[in-house]
Structure formats: structure tokens, C-alpha cells
Structure 1
Amino acid sequence: TRQSKSEGSSREASALTTALLCNTALTPLSNPLQAIFYGKIDKKNPVILSLDTEIKELKGYMKKVRSQEGRFRGARSLFNIFNKYKPRLPPMYFEEKLLEFGDFLYKLQMYDLALWQSYERYLQKFGSFNLDEITDVNSFRSVFFPEGLGVETAALTFHALQGSSICTYHLLKESDSILQNEQSINKVISILTFLRVTTEALLPIEKLCWLLYNGSSKFVSSCLFLLQSHKANLL
């Protein structure tokens, strides 16, 4: 069934990430030179050039993937690439690249990989949190912005939160296409509540208006889908 297939792929993606983490922990890492050693962090920097080349090759591969085995191979390559370059790149540059690849996977409708390999990987630095407990701007700020919304990484954090929410939403749709399951409905409502709070938190930050637009459009489209799925019950 679609439900078991989606749940299985999500569990497999999570299991793969866990396995890769375990393997990485057992593998001694060398200490290659950081990108800053070579000068400016731009496309001429040999570390950046090498990273961009590997990412380009992986993107080409992922576009052609059709089998689950191929997805696993791609996920493994992605995990290894970012593990290899993380200690060599400035933190923000690394996180930007991580989220960019998540957006790429999202466009390919590889929602499980985008969620676990990109958005959730970024959000790991905030520890564990429960969306159901984040119901207003104050609780939102205390979890994700304890130092205030003016931090340098604000755009990246909002980006990751929106990406994580919308990927989770799409995975729910894959497992329950018309949202008949009460648990699915409750989860969608939880996601919508979180997107609303995220949008409210973004309102005072003019320079992040593009994220406000993205969040609002995703919120509206999700609401419309929920209403259409239960139109008969509302009439």
C-alpha cells in the first residue's frame, strides 16, 4: 500500500542516516586543510571547487535514480560528501550548501531524503523538540532563537524549519492521500499550527520577506488541501 511504502521509505532513510553516523564514528578522520587556508571562500577556492564538483556529479546521479537501491547509494554519497567537507568549511557556508541540496531533493520529490539528510540534519543543533508544544511566538523563540531573531543564521533556521514541515506534510500525503486517518489529520493540523507560528515570528523581519511569502503560500495550500479532503464532511 502507499502508506506502508511511504512509512517504509521514511524509516529506511532514518535508519540509513543512523547507520552512516555509526560508521563515521568508527572511522578515523584525517585533518585536511580548511578552505580558509587557501584564501577567500569563493568558487576559485580549491576546497569549494572540489565540493561543487562532487555536488554537481551527485545531482546528476540523483536526477536519474529510479530504484530504492539507487536512492540509498545517493543518500550514502550525500552523507559522505557533507561529512567530509563539514570540518573544512565555515559553518554558515556548510549549512547553506546543506539546505540547498535539501531544496534540490525536494524538487525531485524525494521528501524523505530532503527531510533526514538536509533539513533535520541542520535542526539537530537545537536538540529534540515537540512541534505540538510550540504554539506561539514566545515558545518558538525560546527553542530556536534564544539569542533573538537578529542572529546571523536566522534565515537558514527559518528555511530549515519550513523545509522540514513541508516535507513531513508531503510524506503524510503519500501515506494517506486523502487524510482519512485521524492521526494524519492531527499531524497536519500540528504542522499548520507550526507554520502559522513561524510566519508570525517572521513578520517583524523585513529582510526575510521572501521566507514569509514561502511560509504563507505553503500554509494556504496545505489548508486548502485539508479542506478539500474533508469537503463532504463540512457540507
Structure 2
Amino acid sequence: MVSEIRNSLLESAEERYREFTSKLLPGTGNILGVRLPKLRKIAKEIAKSDWRPYVESEGMLYYEETMLQGMVIGYADAVSAEKLELSRSFIPRIDNWGVCDSFCSGLKFTAKNPSHVWDFIQPYAASSDEFESRFASVMMLNYYITEEYIDRVLTAAARPASEGYYATAAAAWTLSVCYVRFPEKTFSVLYDEGIDETLRRMAIRKIIESRQVTEPDKELVRKLRKR
């Protein structure tokens, strides 16, 4: 099965798209250049078959193969407990933001199991590993910026356990989405002198770039740069 899917990926690879993707993922090797719609189509086809052997396969050669494994976990017809166990095995394979963010966006079962999944992601939120920390942040911004969870999300996003660039960037992204939905609470966090200055500036930049934030609110946030 792995070899058949690999051949399909090789046939779908585009050199110009490979070059484009490589620029977005510096340091990530073995990129074929397969577009996301094609990957999603293949992942859905795998999920309709005996998908477990593919998800559990090790030694994948290409970026897109790892991406597919994560996508299949999201699409697979399995109970939440199994998906979390599969996720636990998959997360150590994440070594770039592309796989991380795609994987998180596919775990839509989280919406029906928020408490269970929240508990699952906490060890990753406390991890100093760059992509484990990013995984937790991206899960939070996708599924937990709600009345029930906002205070816990803000606490986690303001103090990411990893100092890695991609972990910090994800925490800043999370804070920017929090600001769109809960501006007063998020402003207080950004105003706090205890927040890391790099994280604060990254979050401010993301807020200013957002089309969902009004100009008066952007101007208010800009003033935080002068603190």
C-alpha cells in the first residue's frame, strides 16, 4: 500500500510547486510538490480502505507522505480514543509547521470531545519541544477560543513552554485570534509586563495584519509597542 501511494504522489508532483513549498518550509527536505487538494483526495481514499497499516507505517521518505498520515487520522472512521492514540504516535513525526497545522485542522472530532481532547493536549502545551508546543497552540486556536476556554487559552498562549521560533509564532497567532474574539481580555494579556517581548511583538503584528480587527483597535494595540 505504501509503495502504491508513493507512486501516486510521484506522479502528482510538480517541480514549480515543490520549489514554492520549499521556500515556505526552510529546512524541510524531501518535498515532492503535491498540491493540498490532491493530498486531501488521496487521504480520503485511504481512509475509506484499510487505513491503519498506512497510518502506522514508519520510514516515510517524503514530506507529503507524513502529511498524508496526519490527514488520514483526521478522515478515518474511528472513535475519539483511538484517534488520540494514533495522534500520540504521530506527533513525534511532526518536524515542520506545514504538517503540524494540516494535522490539527483535520482533527475536527475535537469539537464534539472538547474536554477529552483538552486534557490530551496539555502535556504538549507544557513541552519544551518546538513542534509539540506548536501542536498544542494550533489546536487551541482552532477549537478552544470560546467563552468556556478563553482564560485557559490566554494563560497558555502567553507563556509557551518552548522558545523555538515556530512555537512562539503559533502562540502569537493564537493570541491574535483571541484578540479578534475577546479583545479586552487579550489586550490585558498583551499589556502584562511579564509577557515575552518577542511574543508580544509577534502577536501585535498578527493583530495589525488581521482584516477582522478595526482600525481603532489596531491603533490601540500599536501603542503597546512603545511600552
Q: What is the TM-score of this pair, normalised by structure 1?
A: 0.36
TM-score by length of 2: 0.37
Q: Which has the higher contact order (CA 8 A, sep 6+)?
A: 1
Structure with more of its chain in helix, by fraction: 1
